[in-house]
Amino acid sequence: MTSVAIPTDLQDAARSARRVEVFTGAGMSADSGLDTFRDATTGLWSNVDAQAMATLDSWRRDPDPMWAWYLWRAARARDAAPNPGHLAIARWQDALTGVSDSDGHLHVTTQNIDDLHERGGATDVSHLHGSLLAFRCSECGRSAPEPDLLTEAVERLTPQACAECGGPVRPGVVWFGEALPEKDFADAEASMLSCDLVVIVGTSGVVFPAAGLPELAVRRGVPVVEISPAATDLTQLSTWSLRTTAASGLPELVDAALA
**DSSP state letters, 125-184:** EEETTEEEEEEEETTT--EE------SS--S--PPPBPTTT-PBEEEEEPPBTSPPPHHH
CA quadruple 237, 50, 29, 136: dihedral sign: positive
d(CA 116, CA 80): 8
Q: What percent of the chain has pLDDT over 90?
A: 81
Do the annotations mark residue 31 as ligand-binding?
A: no
**Position 37 pLDDT exceeds 90:** no
Do the annotations mark residue 195 as ligand-binding?
A: no
Do the annotations mark residue 114 as ligand-binding?
A: yes
| Contact residues for 233 (Cβ-Cβ < 8 A; gap 6+) | 204, 205, 206, 211
Do the annotations mark residue 39 as ligand-binding?
A: no
Helix (H, G, I), strand (E, B) or coil at 193: coil
pLDDT in tens, 58-107: 999 999 999 999 999 999 999 999 999 999 999 999 999 876 555 899 99
d(CA 173, CA 30): 18
Q: Which fold has domain 1-34+81-129+179-259?
A: Rossmann fold (3.40.50)
Q: What positions carry a catalytic annotation?
A: 129
CA dihedral 156, 178, 184, 67 (to 10 degrees): 0
CA distances (Å), origin 239, targets 27, 62, 101, 139? 20, 46, 27, 45
Buried b or exposed e, range 42-79, using 16+ CB within 10 angstroms: eebbeeeeeeebbeeebbeeebebbbbbbbbbbbbbee
What pLDDT, on the 0 to 100 scale, is given for residue 2? 57
**Position 236 pLDDT exceeds 80:** yes
pLDDT band at 16 (very low <50, low <70, confident <90, very high): very high
Do the annotations mark residue 179 as ligand-binding?
A: no
Q: Which CATH architecture has domain 36-79+131-173?
A: 2-Layer Sandwich (3.30)
Task: Spell out the domain ranges in the chain.
Answer: 1-34+81-129+179-259, 36-79+131-173
d(CA 155, CA 164): 27
Do the annotations mark residue 140 as ligand-binding?
A: yes
Q: Which residue has the higher pLDDT, 107 or 155?
A: 107
**Degrees to nearest 5, angle at CA 240 with 235 and 244:** 80
HSE, side-chain direction, 13 A CA sphere, residue 25: 21
Do the annotations mark residue 70 as ligand-binding?
A: yes
**Degrees to nearest 5, angle at CA 127 with 221 and 152:** 140
